[in-house]
Amino acid sequence: MKISHALIAMAIALTACAAAQAKEITGPELKQALEKNPDVLLEAIKANKAAIFSIMSQAAMEEQARVRREAEEADRKALEEAFKNPLKPAIDDKTRIRGEANAKYTLVEYSDFQCPYCSRGYQIVEELRKKYGKDLRFIYKHQPLSFHPNAMPAAQWLEAVAMQSPEKSWQFHDTLFTNQDKLGVDFFKATAAGLGLDVTKCEADAASQGVKDKIAADMAEAEKYGFTGTPGFLINGIPVKGAYPLEYFTDIIQKLDAPKAN
């Protein structure tokens, strides 16, 4: 119920109570009287502002609680469905993997180097890598948002760096996330030079169609899986939309292991 509708309904109820004290009146008669004399309604509202505000506040709290319960139930059902039918991102022998290739858990992130929430996502990934060690492999995929002007260039430069050194591309990845306030072509060049890479080649590769196609494929996959914002994650195919706390990911991993323990 919208607040304006609730206000009118409650005001009419108050007016009806007052009218009932004078004489018996039917609903249609009350409605007709109010339509002919709308000032009566306004006077009733003014005279009972405190009561109306209290009722409205309580109704709003109850509505928020209902919406929250429905959202939590929808999330629960979606998570249950995800465990039954995990998503399968594209991973092949060309995919850059950080960690053991045959690790027990696969964490895929769809991210944006300029997104502040993705900075938190980066920290969570590092915490997970530290916690699970060789049991977890990490794959970074691109989802640069259009309103972050440095996000797409950063993604392109990462791919360009990876063409020269997949290992150094992870150092480049870390440096970008820990220096979000410095992002820009000059910083990309300086970082690449600091890693001992051919900067001229990086610049050319960053503008290549192959790099653009790679990023576009990542973005299309993110969209297919319903990741409209960043960061988005898949942990063994289970989607996590947002930079949730470490405990949220560990809970999922525990649930992944539960069937094996039974």
| Tally of domains within the chain | 2
Assess whether pLDDT exceeds 80 at residue 259: no
Structural domain for 199, as ranges: 105-261
Assess whether pLDDT exceeds 50 at residue 262: no
Task: Give the pLDDT mean for 199-207.
Answer: 98
Output the pTM of the full model.
0.75
Question: Are 136 and 216 found together in one domain?
Answer: yes
Closest C-alpha among 146, 187, 200, 191 to residue 170: 191
211's enclosing H/E stretch is helix 209-224
Domain ends where: 57, 75, 93?
75
Decide which of 221 and 261 is more confident.
221
Whether 233 is covered by a domain: the verdict is yes
Per-residue pLDDT band for 8 (boundaries 50, 70, 90) equals low
Task: Give the pLDDT mean for 186-190.
Answer: 98
Question: Are 206 and 117 found together in one domain?
Answer: yes
Distance CA 262, CA 244 (A): 28
| Backbone φ and ψ of 91, nearest 5° | -135, 120
| CATH code: domain of residue 151 | 3.40.30.10
Token duo for residue 172: 């480049």
**The pLDDT of residue 28:** 82
Whether 92 is covered by a domain: the verdict is no
Whether 193 is covered by a domain: the verdict is yes
Amino acid at 131: K
**The pLDDT of residue 17:** 52
Question: Are 112 and 34 found together in one domain?
Answer: no
Distance CA 256, CA 238 (A): 9
What is the number of residues in the chain? 262
Token duo for residue 227: 């990741």
Tell me if the bond preceding 116 is cis, omega within 30° of 0: no
**The pLDDT of residue 125:** 98
Assess whether pLDDT exceeds 90 at residue 252: yes
* Cβ atoms of 110 and 141 closer than 8 Å: yes
**The pLDDT of residue 161:** 98
Domain ends where: 33, 57, 75?
75
Question: Are 125 and 68 found together in one domain?
Answer: no
- Please say whether the dihedral angle defined by the alpha carbons of residues 243, 247, 250 and 254, taken in this order, is positive or negative: negative
* Cβ atoms of 231 and 112 closer than 8 Å: yes
Out of 12-26, 68-82, 172-186, 242-256, which region has the weakest mean confidence (pLDDT)?
Answer: 12-26
* Beta bridge mates, 234: 108, 239
Whether 186 is covered by a domain: the verdict is yes
Question: Are 130 and 212 found together in one domain?
Answer: yes
**The pLDDT of residue 261:** 45
Closest C-alpha among 133, 125, 112, 117 to residue 234: 125
Question: Are 228 and 124 found together in one domain?
Answer: yes
pLDDT in tens, 96-147: 999 999 999 999 999 999 999 999 999 999 999 999 999 999 999 999 999 9
**The pLDDT of residue 1:** 43
Task: Give the pLDDT mean for 10-17.
Answer: 51
pLDDT in tens, 26-75: 778 777 877 888 787 778 778 888 887 888 888 888 888 887 777 667 66
* Cβ atoms of 203 and 160 closer than 8 Å: yes
Which residue has tokens 């960690």? Answer: 99
